[in-house]
Amino acid sequence: MNALLRRTLLPEAELNPHPAWEAPAAFFFLRTAHAIGLLVVSMVGLPRNHQDREAQAIGWFVIVLFVLSPNEASYHFILLLVAVTLLLPSM
**What is the pTM assigned to this prediction?**
0.62
- Phi, psi angle pair for 15, to nearest 5°: -85, -40
Q: Which amino acid does the sequence have at 36?
A: I
CA Rg value for the chain: 17
Per-residue pLDDT band at 7 (split at 50, 70, 90): confident
* Interatomic CA distance for residues 64 and 27, integer angstroms: 20
Q: pLDDT of 29-87, one tens digit each?
A: 988 898 888 888 877 877 666 666 777 788 888 888 888 887 778 888 888 888 888 88
Q: Is the pLDDT of residue 90 over 60?
A: no
